[in-house]
Amino acid sequence: MKPADAQTAAGKPNTDASAPSPLKPGEVRLMTRYRRGPFILRAWRRLRSELGALWLRARGAHIGRGVHIGPDAQLYGLTGLNIADGVNIGRRARLETHATERGQAQITICSGTHIGNDFHAGAALRVLIGRNCMLASGVTILDHDHDFGDPFDPHRAREGVVAAPTVIEDGAFLGERVAVLKGVRVGNGSVVGANSVVCSDIPPLTMAAGIPARPLRRWSESTRTWERIAPPPGGRA
pLDDT grade, residue 4 (50/70/90)? very low
Query: CA angle 44-45-48, nearest 5°?
Result: 85
Tens digits of per-residue pLDDT, 109-144?
Answer: 999 999 999 999 999 999 999 999 999 999 999 999
- Backbone phi and psi for residue 41, each to the nearest 5 degrees, phi listed first: -70, -40
Tens digits of per-residue pLDDT, 150-205?
Answer: 777 666 666 678 899 999 999 999 999 999 999 999 999 999 999 999 999 999 99
Q: Indicate the fold that domain 31-228 takes in CATH.
A: UDP N-Acetylglucosamine Acyltransferase; domain 1 (2.160.10)
CA 34 vs CA 29, 39, 84: distances in Å: 11, 13, 23
SS3 of residue 123 by DSSP? strand
Tens digits of per-residue pLDDT, 20-70?
Answer: 567 778 788 766 555 566 778 777 778 888 888 899 999 999 999 999 999
Supply the pLDDT for residue 32.
59
Reported as type and span, the H/E element at residue 112 is none
Supply the pLDDT for residue 135.
98
SS3 of residue 108 by DSSP? strand
User: Domain extents for the chain?
Assistant: 31-228
> CB count, 10 Å around CB of 213?
24
Supply the pTM of this predicted model: 0.81
Nearest to 198 by CA among 181, 215, 182: 181
Nearest to 196 by CA among 188, 232, 186: 186
Would you say the C-alpha torsion 13, 14, 15, 21 has a positive or negative sign?
negative
Beta strands 99-100 and 103-104 are antiparallel
* Residues 6 or more apart whose Cβ sits within 8 Å of residue 192: 172, 173, 174, 175, 178, 180, 186, 198, 202, 207, 208, 209, 213
